[in-house]
Amino acid sequence: MAEGEVPGDYIITRRDLHDVFFLVGSEKKEKISTIKCFLANYSPVFRSMLLETNMKERNSEELIKIPNHEPDVFNLMLSYVYGDQNLKFVDAAQAMRFHALVDQYLMTKLKAVSLYYLMKNCLNICDVLTCLVILDIKEMRNRALLTLYEKSISFLESEEFKLLDVRIVEFILNLKHLDIEEIHLWRALLSWAKHNCGNSTMQVESGDESDEPAAKKQCTRENGLEGDAQKAEGASLRKTLGSLLYYVRFLAMSLKEFAEEVVKTSILTDYEMTRMFVALASGKPHGLKYLSEEGKRYPTVFVLEFKGYTTEESNFSNLIHIIQVKNRRLRLKSVNLTNVLSHFYVNLEKNNSKVSTFGPFSNCTSFTLDIILEANQSYDLVFETRSSSYSIYASQCEPHHSCNYCTVVNSSSCIKSLTFIVS
């Protein structure tokens, strides 16, 4: 390549060599031409479409329409296949659109480029959730859950939440582990439904009957009751919510919350509300198969406390705790100690090999680790001094400390509690 020449410039300018033509974009369409073999080299989908099958695109001189992607990311894709592998994205939004394009056409090398950028630059909670749920970037799951945990209430109350894709809202409502009271989820869901319900239904200009939604006018004319207009609005909201309503855990609410914040919306029918009141008051199932019977969600964060300590202390140069993780991936966030320890290190080991080392820590009663523990695996959490001048003071305690997510086995310990996040 000549000095100063940009990769792909020659191919772009030699339009006489181009043998396939696309019309790319939804609103702003752009005609883009290229050479089939370049696309076929990177994409088995394009290879099949343009070279190996009897699909009409193979020999057609007509424009191949790609309406679900925009010209800017299509041109970025072409830049890469022409040889420019140092792509520069304008922002995370463009990188996400690029990722969707190359994912559709199974362009593995290009997906790695956008994935690297997104993992480094995608920090906004909406972008992270879009990557996880819409683009199916599983590497974003832990980041999404941690961000939800840290910003749960402020995010639910934000304008951004109202703009979420329904698939992301469904993902959040379907989480079994979430440190958010159900009433906060309900308020956010109701706000989302009002925003996404058709404007002609939700917003009525006073004094102009022609702008009133038909359902509301019909109910009002038939009965002359304000309550019927409310029911019409409730029915409209229920239609907007669709299957999302069935993820709401009404049984996790208090009677007062249900009465004051759910009943007034008229989203549930009179029969459903009656059954729900009975269930909340009696603790028995409501018997409505199409509404959730689930109670409160499990905490995202949990603390495993060590119990049964004796008063007798012993000195150790190293101290081992075996952490047996059950069927959920965990993040060990922090360690609280029973007393002040001076100058020690902490190692995380798996199968007698070190995974991570932390420290030195000095004169502290707690410290942060922030390490991932995979499901159905066993780890050793090892305290060590690395110097004969220091010792670890520990006491005998219960040999097993267990919960729904893990079991810790030890003979003596200096740990008061471990804090985990379920991921």
Q: Give residue-wise pLDDT tens across range 353-369.
A: 999 999 999 999 999 99
Q: What is the pLDDT of residue 221?
A: 39
Instruction: Give tens-digit pLDDT for 130-175.
Output: 999 999 999 898 788 878 877 888 999 999 999 999 999 999 999 9
- Higher-pLDDT residue of 271 and 315 is 271
Indicate if the pLDDT at residue 342 is higher than 60.
yes
Pick the CATH number of 301-422 from 3.40.50.10090, 1.10.760.10, 3.65.10.10, 2.60.120.820: 2.60.120.820
Q: How many Cβ atoms sit within 10 Å of the Cβ of residue 357? A: 13
Q: What topology does CATH give the domain 7-121?
A: Potassium Channel Kv1.1; Chain A (3.30.710)
User: Residue 279's pLDDT is what?
Assistant: 95
Q: Which pLDDT belongs to residue 202? A: 37
Strands 30-34 and 20-24, by their bridges, are antiparallel
Extract the runs of DSSP E, i.e. beta strands, from 110-262: none
Given this model, what pLDDT does residue 220 score? 40
How far is Cα 121 from Cα 366, in angstroms, rounded to an integer? 31
Asked whether 421 and 331 are in contact (CB, 8 A), the reply is: yes
- Please determine, for residue 370, whether its predicted confidence score (pLDDT) is greater than 70: yes
| 233-257 pLDDT per residue, tens | 999 999 999 999 999 999 999 999 9
Q: How confident is the model at residue 79 (pLDDT cuts 50, 70, 90)?
A: very high
CA-atom Rg of the chain in angstroms: 29
Residues 6+ apart with CB under 8 A from 334: 366, 367, 368, 369, 370, 418, 419
At 13, is the pLDDT very low, low, confident or very high (cuts 50, 70, 90)? confident
pLDDT above 70 (res 51): yes
Q: Is the pTM higher than 0.85?
A: no
What is the rounded average pLDDT of the residues 105-125?
95
Q: Where are the domains of the chain?
A: 7-121, 137-197+232-299, 301-422
Say what percent of the chain tops pLDDT 90. Answer: 60
* Predicted pLDDT of residue 180: 86
**Residue 53: per-residue pLDDT:** 65
SS3 at position 369: strand
The percentage of the chain sitting over the pLDDT mark of 70, rounded to a whole number, equals 89
Across 61-74, average pLDDT: 91
Alpha helix (H) residue ranges in 14-130: 36-42, 44-47, 71-81, 92-104, 108-121, 125-129
pLDDT of 246: 95
pLDDT at 224 > cutoff 70:
no
Compare 217 and 419 and report the one with higher pLDDT: 419
What integer pLDDT is reported at residue 117 of this predicted model? 96
Distance of CA 226 to the CA centre of its chain: 41
Estimate the crossing angle of helix 226-241 against helix 214-223, to 10 degrees.
150
Q: Is the pLDDT of residue 349 over 60?
A: yes
Q: Which of the two residues, 348 and 314, has the higher pLDDT score?
A: 348
